[in-house]
Amino acid sequence: MSKQPIGIFDSGIGGTSIFKEINALLPNENCIYLADSINAPYGNKSSFDILRLSIKNTELLLSKGCKLIVVACNTATTNAISYLRANYKIPFIGIEPAIKPAALNTKTKTVGILATKGTLSSQLFHKTSDLYARGIKVVEQVGEGIVPLIESGKLQSNEMKELLAVYLEPMLKENIDYLVLGCTHYPYLIPMLTQMLPEHVSIIDSGLAVAKQTKAILLQHNLLNKNTQPPSIKLFTNGNLDILNAIINSEFETSYLDF
């Protein structure tokens, strides 16, 4: 069982930011990644649709023999992970906006969060926020339009810069000193955001924490792959293969799959 692959899925290519962290921390692990780009963005869909798509991705990864699934999408985690955990036998790792470290470390007592509508309106996000950010002002901003731009290969574009400027303005007015990236597509914006933000604003994302949690859960279930041969890594998209290849610098095997 330990030689079986880790399954990872996202609404599109953004979750490759999580896949890269997992591959760096667990280089022996075989991985299968699903980019459900044809259905991106998930962020504006109903909770029911997000659940339905998460089940579809899970079933496909299970049919490929995955031993554990990483839901590399904040929107799918916050809307579907309880159902997935309750209905499938294998372990699931999810990703949630890193409100806790931001709230613990802020000096201005104000943090910003950029995420999808689906994440910010979810019960799980509100629960986490209420639990860890008591007494802290959380400036929430829906990143409307960002995922479609990344999915259409316009990561580094003027359109993106203009959109980010609009979203950052209210946060900077409120004097945030932490910006939490609550969507797995957004780590790819870090170079642009770093240029746009004042120096005292730190950016936090949850990628490394997810990779560490994946390792801990594999260890706990005795599922860590101790093989030292090069792993089998396969990334599938039901969208544009060139755009997937561009975001991973063509470093891994990719193919188109109709799912």
List, by residue number, the catalytic residues: 73, 183
DSSP assignment of 153-178 equals T-SSSHHHHHHHHHHHHHHHHTT-SE
Select the span of 99-107, 166-174, 181-189, 231-239 touching ligand DGL (CB under 6 A): 181-189
Give the ranges where 26-157 is alpha helix by DSSP (H).
47-63, 74-87, 99-105, 117-120, 123-132, 146-151
Cβ(174)–Cβ(139) below 8 Å: yes
Q: Quick check: 11 binds ligand DGL (CB under 6 A)?
A: yes
Cβ(43)–Cβ(97) below 8 Å: no
Select the span of 25-33, 73-81, 214-222, 231-239 touching ligand DGL (CB under 6 A): 73-81
Q: Which of 16, 54, 57, 116 binds ligand DGL (CB under 6 A)?
A: 116
Q: Quick check: 73 binds ligand DGL (CB under 6 A)?
A: yes
Q: Which is nearer to ligand DGL, 11 or 128 (CB)?
A: 11
Q: Which of 8, 32, 40, 197 binds ligand DGL (CB under 6 A)?
A: 40
Residues 145-164 that bind ligand DGL (CB under 6 A): 147
DSSP assignment of 206-230 equals SHHHHHHHHHHHHHHTT------SP
Q: Which of 54, 75, 128, 129 binds ligand DGL (CB under 6 A)?
A: 75
Burial class (CB in 10 A: 0-12, 13-18, 19+), 192: middle
Burial class (CB in 10 A: 0-12, 13-18, 19+), 85: middle
Q: Which of 7, 43, 112, 239 binds ligand DGL (CB under 6 A)?
A: 43
Nearest Cα neighbor of 108 from 139, 141, 137, 140 is: 137
Q: Quick check: 239 binds ligand DGL (CB under 6 A)?
A: no
Q: Which is nearer to ligand DGL, 34 or 223 (CB)?
A: 34
| Least distance to ligand DGL, CB of residue 217, Å | 20
Biggest CA-to-CA distance, the chain: 52
Q: Quick check: 184 binds ligand DGL (CB under 6 A)?
A: yes
Q: Quick check: 185 binds ligand DGL (CB under 6 A)?
A: yes
- Residues in contact with ligand DGL by CB under 6 A are 10-12, 14-15, 40-43, 73-75, 116, 119, 147, 183-185
